[in-house]
Amino acid sequence: TQLLEQSPQFLSIQEGENLTVYCNSSSVFSSLQWYRQEPGEGPVLLVTVVTGGEVKKLKRLTFQFGDARKDSSLHITAAQPGDTGLYLCAGASGTYKYIFGTGTRLKVLA
Amino acid sequence: EAGVAQSPRYKIIEKRQSVAFWCNPISGHATLYWYQQILGQGPKLLIQFQNNGVVDDSQLPKDRFSAERLKGVDSTLKIQPAKLEDSAVYLCASSRTWDEQYFGPGTRLTVT
């Protein structure tokens, strides 16, 4: 059974701080996605990474796919209260089929 | 472009009762997913449709859960009879390409 473990599980930081969230597995994925979910809403796709070692940037968010395509990280620079939410990674085990990670709940305090 | 619609948004039922959730995907999206998200966890795939055919239902508890996607558009997920452990948010998502999923707001089910 493929599992995606995220760490940390919870993170509470002050506005302006930097943070990194990790997504790890013993399985190889063909691609990996990151989502942000706010209370009462469904997850919203932030990025899809496909190639081992790939780095993508979305404003203050930097996403990296591990060289072996088993892990990924999300780095947020100068966090803002608007970044608060549940961050989920999802690995593709085939086309159109994704396994979600355990989630990291981030709270950014003003 | 309208997003994925789900109804109802909230439902409270007693154990052993039945319940149904409805999903209307984004127009033109052939793939539709139902996920179960227990509080504090990531979504777990229950069933995946490609048009009106089932691609994957390996994690669907078939003794109590059923789903259909007639005409390859709308979909319904049913639970009968419900158990306490079915309390969760049920998310519907749709996609047109392999690298995207668009989620609806979910239905929060509470079983008492």
pLDDT tens digits, one per residue of B13-39? 999 999 999 999 999 999 999 999 998
A85, two tokens? 């939410």
Confidence of residue A66 (pLDDT cuts 50, 70, 90): very high
Give the residue on A whose Cα is nearest the Cα of B41.
A102
- Put simply, the answer to whether B42 touches A101 (Cβ < 8 Å) is yes
CB B86 within 8 A of CB B77: no
> Is any Cβ of chain A less than 8 angstroms from the Cβ of B38?
no
Task: Please write the tens of the pLDDT for every residue from B30-86.
Answer: 999 999 999 888 999 999 999 889 999 999 999 999 999 988 899 999 999 999 999
- Put simply, the answer to whether B42 touches A96 (Cβ < 8 Å) is no
- In terms of Cα–Cα distance, which of A109, A110, A108 is closest to A36? A108
